[in-house]
Structure 1
Amino acid sequence: MSSRAAIEEAIEWSACLRDESLLPSERHAFERWLDADPLNAQAWNAVQGQVQRVLMPAGETHARRVLQAPRPSRRHLLRGALAIAGMGVVTQVLRQPGMPLAEFSADLRTGTGERLNTQLADGSRLVLDAQSAVDIEMGTDVRRLSLRTGKIILDVSHDPRPFNILTTFGSVQANGTRLMVAAYESFTHVWALGPGVRISTRSNAQLALQPDQGARFNDLIERLAANRSGESTWQDGWLNVQDWSLGDVISALQPYRRGILRVSPNAARLRVSGVFSLDHSDRALAALAQTMPLRIQRYSDWWVSVDLA
């Protein structure tokens, strides 16, 4: 199946699955479609992400009107809400993280809820978080890894060749050490899990990190508070947070869920501490609802909204 066909089918399923009268046979058909081709799962996640980016700024009422309309109208409204016509949706969604024009051609990549642990040609050990993608280059004089999206933990082997991790906003150099690098839309996060980690930004700002130190950078570099160190605990399937915003916790859970996981701006500001399972995100959401003043609404299995109770 082509990428364009997968995206068009994902839009059709988006309209279908939000129908309260959905038949069990239809849900089973959707699950078979989702599992039939990795391209289908990527298309589904990309379309849901695009729906969230477009509908949520318009407000909860507008989102509900679109998503709860009768099925034929819902399909039309979804396309209208995405501001698409003809194949416009294909061009837009193909550029979203997780789709072929963005990450499908990466040397290594992971899907929703998937982590990958592998050894590189130089003996370094690489772990990819869910929905992550990297390119790898091992040359005579250099070792280079480009982080396209997501998060990695890297145990870098000792070698005369430098090891550079390239991101949108600059690079991180390491040799014979361990570190975590996370690519976000507006910045990159780095945690030094061993000695000898150095950041260089596009504007030539530089910072050397000591073990257990972290930093956020784009053109500038800002040290991260110690309570953010739990960012690197995902390798074993757990998220260990200390005084994080709920919005950041929800963002960390999203790569482990198919569909949309939305948190309202007011709820996103709540502070959270605890240990949550990434591989069982429904349990994590239930634990949050039990200990915080939250209301979790499920419009379908593929659209979950978190708001203040």
Structure 2
Amino acid sequence: MSGSMVDPRVRDSAIDWMVRAQSGLMSAAEHQALQQWRQASAEHEYAWQRVSSLSLRLQPGAKLLADATARRALESAGVDPQRRRQMLKCLLALGLFGGVAWQGADSTLVRSALATYRTNIGERRRWALADGSSLWLNTASAVNLELTAQRRSVQLVEGELALDTPAESASLQLLTPDAVLYGRGAHWLVRHDRLGTQVTVLRGLAQVSARRHSLPVPLQAGWQTRIDRQGVAAPSRVDPFMAQAWLRGILPAERMRLDQLLAELSRYRPGFLRCSEAVAALRVTGSFQLDDTDAALALVANTLPVRIERRTRYWVTVVPA
């Protein structure tokens, strides 16, 4: 089932089964029912494997009933399975289980786990699609894909993609949480982060609109724009070679603030990477390897009056030398 979309109803069933399994209250009959549900179809098993990969299972919340208050609240729901699952989800949302937050089936975490294609932190991958298109995903990215005779749609759940479609291909819709794009035979770069969506057209033409503003803005090759809650920003020229640097594993910096550089590098490594306020505004110029962020940090330390302070492998701070 690799590369397939999961039916929302199957996805929700898988999530409910995971919540039950996490509760510690499943009976032997329910365990058997879960196995039967997983074995009923390849899609069920695929959805279960995706949901099971959620980081929720690796958090302190895996021992859900260690908290006495949470245990009493769950027991107060009685024996009705639906009431108990709802109570469990509420407790997770309130952070009563080890600080784990549960945002339901529409959370980015869940949607990323169930996406058609996804990458882990520090991973970049390319896929050759059935229609002749090429899809690249940058670090920690997720995409849902539907390419059929009736519908051609790509949904960027999170992260960054490059999509190169054949010149003779049919019109395609690309969605992000902020933006809606339409184009035909185009080569796009699209990134979504907390500031909005950035769109770059390398070839062809795209019609770009904000989710809340239906009036599209044409974006030609060699131009870039950003979309957020305010709408579509005025397009600006972009260097295509530099815009594609991440595809070559390079992060170029031209007098970039140090805190901005570290924010970019942090996308490619697990844990925390930050700097003290005393050095945040220092300017950096250079090319940094995305596949070796430790080497990139060493280059920063050799270039600027800073040193790298490591509490652990996953907690790194850049401070004054």
On the 8 A contact 1:263/1:305 being kept in 2, the answer is yes
Structure 1 residue 241 corresponds to structure 2 residue 280: no
Q: Which amino acid aligns with 2:221?
A: P
Aligned pairs for 1:146-161 within 5 A: 146-159=155-168, 161=170
Q: Name the residue aligned to 1:189.
A: 198
Aligned pairs for 1:99-138 within 5 A: 99=109, 101-138=110-147
Q: Name the residue aligned to 1:170.
A: 179
Structure 1 residue 282 corresponds to structure 2 residue 294: yes
Choose which of 273, 284, 306 in structure 2 pairs with 1:294: 306
On the 8 A contact 1:230/1:241 being kept in 2, the answer is no
Choose which of 200, 219, 230 in structure 1 pairs with 2:242: 230
Q: Which amino acid aligns with 2:127?
A: T
- State, as a whole percentage, how many aligned pairs show the same letter: 29
Looking at structure 2, the residues matched to 149 and 177 of structure 1 have their Cα atoms a distance apart, in angstroms, of: 21
- Choose 1 or 2 for highest CA Rg: 2
On the 8 A contact 2:222/2:239 being kept in 1, the answer is no
Structure 1 residue 91 corresponds to structure 2 residue 102: yes
On the 8 A contact 1:156/1:174 being kept in 2, the answer is no
**Cα distance, 1:165–1:298 mapped onto 2, change above 3 Å:** same
Looking at structure 2, the residues matched to 243 and 225 of structure 1 have their Cα atoms a distance apart, in angstroms, of: 19
Looking at structure 1, the residues matched to 277 and 104 of structure 2 have their Cα atoms a distance apart, in angstroms, of: 25
Q: Name the residue aligned to 2:271.
A: 259
SS at match of 1:256: coil
Looking at structure 1, the residues matched to 276 and 183 of structure 2 have their Cα atoms a distance apart, in angstroms, of: 39
Q: Which structure shows the higher helix fraction? A: 1
Deviating above 4 A after TM superposition, structure 1's stretches of 4 or more consecutive aligned residues are: 37-42, 92-97, 224-229
On the 8 A contact 2:266/2:272 being kept in 1, the answer is yes
**Cα distance, 1:93–1:278 mapped onto 2, change above 3 Å:** farther
Structure 1 residue 268 corresponds to structure 2 residue 277: no
**Cα distance, 1:221–1:285 mapped onto 2, change above 3 Å:** same
Q: CA deviation at 1:84?
A: 4.0
Gaps of 5+ in 2: 1-16, 23-48, 60-93
Aligned pairs for 1:27-38 within 5 A: none
Q: CA deviation at 1:205?
A: 4.3
Gaps of 5+ in 1: 8-36, 48-82
Looking at structure 1, the residues matched to 97 and 142 of structure 2 have their Cα atoms a distance apart, in angstroms, of: 30
On the 8 A contact 2:128/2:134 being kept in 1, the answer is yes
Query: What's the C-alpha RMSD, in Å, of the aligned pairs?
Result: 3.6
Looking at structure 2, the residues matched to 141 and 38 of structure 1 have their Cα atoms a distance apart, in angstroms, of: 27
